[in-house]
């Protein structure tokens, strides 16, 4: 008699046909408009930060895997992509050694200490950004001047937090914030370029529409509600919250990080909505100007619970 042998393996059992390296390639392609615009806005310094961030991320992953005697995974392009996204959050004037320290934290503490991509519970890019933000705030807030306005050295979100929404309207127009003609991090200023990239990811089905669209809806509706009802004195136009502070970068490139975001449809919707609401709360009442990164990182702590919101098993 032949014994029945069943192979027990973890899900998913149905392959989409898309490899991890192909997904990473599409993410880097989607970031190209923001990269090009950032280099145009800040010049060679922006290109220096991007190259050093991507190169050092790959180098750190190779050295860590070599030291831990694990096979290399450089061909999956996750380190290269993480390095590019990390560079988008940095000012073009940041010193080289902070970039190296940040990518070491991103790869070592954010990914490899948990076993590599897919097993990390938090987005390594956000972990590195938060550590640097807390440790070196002066360097992380040293915004270079842009060619169009050499006197502009403050981001719209910083003006909003320190001087109020009325000063934002006097200093920046919605079109300037939408197209990105403001100072700040290299790749999070132009909502237009990031929307182009986000649309590409949705078209290629690299990311699910639920997280980014629900995130944007959470930011817009919650901030718009307080703005329309004139509750409190520190509320700005909801379009301001969409175009400023890296909202678009968080929606399409940070909140959609596969290992740290939910996989169930209902979980994705709740994750996006709550992250968007939390972003608006931090901006309006918190002490941090850039609430998007903190909100996404905090919500990733609830991903295991949101993944439990699953449909009934077929047949029950």
pLDDT of residue 159: 81
pLDDT of residue 83: 95
Evaluate if residue 226 carries a pLDDT over 60: yes
Max CA-CA distance within the chain? Answer: 84
Mean pLDDT, the chain, as a whole number? 86
pLDDT of residue 104: 95
What's the whole-number mean pLDDT along residues 75-84?
Answer: 90
pLDDT band at 277 (very low <50, low <70, confident <90, very high): very high
Evaluate if residue 87 carries a pLDDT over 70: yes
pLDDT of residue 291: 86
pLDDT of residue 114: 81
pLDDT band at 219 (very low <50, low <70, confident <90, very high): very high
DSSP code of 116?
S
CB of 203 closer than 8 Å to CB of 190: no
User: How many Å apart are CA 71 and CA 130, to the nearest integer?
Assistant: 29
pLDDT of residue 149: 57
User: How many Å apart are CA 269 and CA 275, to the nearest integer?
Assistant: 10
Q: Is 276 exposed, middle or buried (0-12, 13-18, 19+ CB in 10 A)?
A: buried
Evaluate if residue 169 carries a pLDDT over 80: no
CB of 99 closer than 8 Å to CB of 240: no
pLDDT band at 85 (very low <50, low <70, confident <90, very high): very high
pLDDT of residue 176: 84
- pLDDT higher for 308 or 83? 83
Evaluate if residue 32 carries a pLDDT over 90: yes
User: How many Å apart are CA 27 and CA 250, to the nearest integer?
Assistant: 13
- pLDDT higher for 173 or 4? 173
Q: Is 231 exposed, middle or buried (0-12, 13-18, 19+ CB in 10 A)?
A: exposed
pLDDT of residue 151: 56
- HSE-up (13 A, CA, CB side) for residue 204: 20
Evaluate if residue 315 carries a pLDDT over 80: no
Please state the domain extents for the chain: 20-140, 156-306
pLDDT of residue 13: 56
pLDDT of residue 76: 83
What's the whole-number mean pLDDT along residues 69-83?
Answer: 84
Entry pTM = 0.88
């Amino acid at each position: 008699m032949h014994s029945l042998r069943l192979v027990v393996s973890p899900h998913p059992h149905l392959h989409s046909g898309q490899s991890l390296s192909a997904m990473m390639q599409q993410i880097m392609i989607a970031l190209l408009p923001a990269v090009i615009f950032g280099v145009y806005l800040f010049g060679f310094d922006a290109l220096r930060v991007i190259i050093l961030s991507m190169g050092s991320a790959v180098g750190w992953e190779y050295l860590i895997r070599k030291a831990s005697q694990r096979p290399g995974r450089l061909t999956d392009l996750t380190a290269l992509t993480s390095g590019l996204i990390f560079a988008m959050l940095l000012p073009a004037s940041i010193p080289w050694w902070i970039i190296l320290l940040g990518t070491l934290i991103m790869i070592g503490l954010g990914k490899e200490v948990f076993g590599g991509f897919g097993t990390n519970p938090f987005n390594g890019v956000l972990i590195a950004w938060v550590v640097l933000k807390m440790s070196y705030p002066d360097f992380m807030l040293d915004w270079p001047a842009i060619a169009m306005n050499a006197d502009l050295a403050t981001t719209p979100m910083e003006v909003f937090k320190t001087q109020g929404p009325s000063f934002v309207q006097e200093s920046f127009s919605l079109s300037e914030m939408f197209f990105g003609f403001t100072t700040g991090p290299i790749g999070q200023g132009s909502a237009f370029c990031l929307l182009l990239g986000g649309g590409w990811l949705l078209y290629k089905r690299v990311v699910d529409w639920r997280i980014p669209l629900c995130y944007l809806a959470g930011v817009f509706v919650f901030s718009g509600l307080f703005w329309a009802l004139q509750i409190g004195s520190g509320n700005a136009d909801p379009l301001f919250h969409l175009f400023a502070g890296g909202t678009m970068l968080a929606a399409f490139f940070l909140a959609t990080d596969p290992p740290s975001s939910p996989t169930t449809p209902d979980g994705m919707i709740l994750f996006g909505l709550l992250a968007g609401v939390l972003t608006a709360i931090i901006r309006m009442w918190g002490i941090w100007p850039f609430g998007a990164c903190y909100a996404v990182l905090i919500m990733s702590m609830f991903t295991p619970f949101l993944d439990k919101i699953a449909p009934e098993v077929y047949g029950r």
